[in-house]
Structure 1
């Protein structure tokens, strides 16, 4: 009886062990099939994620972060003449750009040789931009939100500041997009050296003189606020005294020749662009023949300097500032 019991027990143990072994093999076979499938899926998804990560990058500009392609080769400038001036400095050929009066200003000839006209700076053509397949669009903070949103549907869009105080950030933005940070930094350092050298040449004689920069548009003289146009260079950087009339100016204001004669500047930097005065290209000549104009101290002392910088220049960009500084030293330097 005992012998049968032990025989039965032994058989039960053997059956249990065989069952356990078979189960282990089956699980092992299942694991071997599952593992390659998992690796295969990882092999498909991982490179895509890596490619996406490598294909884009983030750029921070004026406190906001933008996601742009790692290589921004096809750049379209829509409305931001400031960016076109920065492209001129860095030698960046544009894929598309805004025109002024139906054509690209001559000062941008070098960077628009192969560029497509995307329409007037105030009214870009979205269909034309779409066909160009840009990597990045440099818009303008002057644009209303709906225009910027339309451009964002075409490509990553960065609204570039039109404010003169942001000139350095604007240059560094394009430099970062095009991989020319070293060149931009070298240019900025050189400008600051030139500025320091210019201060004693100009400041000693003109610090307390009335020096004013303005534009002639149509029959109107345009004054600019202290932080606009060439004014930051004159007053902030070169340290000249800000005339009370400039301090009172908000952004841009039209002033009559009679009212301007009351300011009676010692020095005038006058900008006149034919592209803005096509209806009356002789307006500058008419101004110069005006008796009130002739009676100004600056005119009588031959201290009126016309278009010392290309008249299509914005004034508040690196290129404009660099050119204006050179001209100021040449005209006023002792």
Structure 2
């Protein structure tokens, strides 16, 4: 078997991952602080009226869609992380997308199926006023869901910050999206200072994923937290591979790993079957003599990091820091 086998597309692996199971009150009762009789009903009516107002939005597929001015009931078959960053909980999403998020993040979100596109009847039952899908959705899928509610496609692993801006525009929360990005950039600056004593300048990192019975290498821009936020450098071997404009996710053999000569290795283990492969490799002489292994600088990180949305960026800043502290 060749040491390096190119995989047709990144999308196949990611979709396989997604398809697999894995108002406080006050005691003051003065009339000026009491809600007037009927005010809650008025607020509800105003909210409903706002959701009825519509505007035109052109999605990433170039489709012009009439959407609510301020969507209230969103089913997110994609872009969950962007909604969470905007303090918006979708009313529904898929089990295999939500599994990447914490229990708190998942709270109050109804499961509408397990696959990438969910279950039509379950989505229908939630009576959404907007549905978000990924840009790889078929014309048939788009047409089907558009019968339930306005259906907007968002980018499939595009620029995460631009996707946040797009979802901010969809939700009429453009300013909130802008503020989130600014706050995140400030967090990155602070955590770089905190991490300065935990790593040497110029250290090279390698991120590999154990999935589908193989070891996968992805383009470095799949993991901006490691290579941008924490400023780990690429190995010379990966730099060489990425010079090829046609670079795609690649299956890497155990025998090739020494050529990367990484100071740090971050591991992603996709499932139990993949863990068995990792455990077998860890007993090999090749693995034991890798510099990162000999120096005890190998870290396992949750496969959530592969999702590459802004909420995950925020999570990953803390996650990587904790790993480096070990």
Q: CA deviation at 1:272?
A: 1.7
Structure whose CA Rg is larger:
1
- Provide the C-alpha distance between the structure 1 equivalents of 2:126 and 2:94, rounded to a whole number of angstroms: 13
Give the match for residue 68 of structure 1. 67
Within-5 A mapping of 1:1-334: 55-59=53-57, 64=62, 66-78=65-77, 80=78, 83-100=79-96, 104-105=98-99, 107-163=101-157, 165-199=158-192, 206=200, 208-228=202-222, 230=223, 232-236=224-228, 239-247=231-239, 248=241, 250-273=247-270, 277-279=271-273, 281-307=275-301, 310-330=302-322
Task: Identify, as 1 or 2, the structure richer in helix.
Answer: 1
* Alpha-carbon distance between aligned partners in 2 of 1:315 and 1:207, rounded to the nearest angstrom: 27
Query: CA separation in 1, counterparts of 2:56 and 2:144?
Result: 21
Gaps of 5+ in 2: 1-48
Mapped contact 2:292–2:298 kept (Cα < 8 A)? yes
Root mean square deviation of aligned Cα: 3.3
Partners of 1:211 and 1:116 in 2: CA distance: 38
Partners of 2:73 and 2:51 lie apart in 1 by: 20
Number of residue pairs aligned between Structure 1 and Structure 2: 270
Offset at residue 185 of structure 1 (A): 2.7
TM-score under structure 1 normalisation? 0.68
CA distance in 1, matches of 2:198, 2:60: 36
Give me the whole-angstrom Cα distance separating, in 2, the residues matched to 1:236 and 1:204: 16
Q: 2:251 aligns to what SS in structure 1?
A: strand
Call closer, same or farther: CA 1:323–1:67 in 2, change over 3 Å. Answer: same
The structural deviation recorded for 1:256 is 1.2
Distance 1:99 1:297, change over 3 A: same
Whole-Å separation in 1 of the counterparts to 2:323 and 2:110: 38
More contact order relative to length (CA 8 Å, sep ≥ 6): 2
* Preserved CA contact (<8 Å) 1:214 1:270: yes
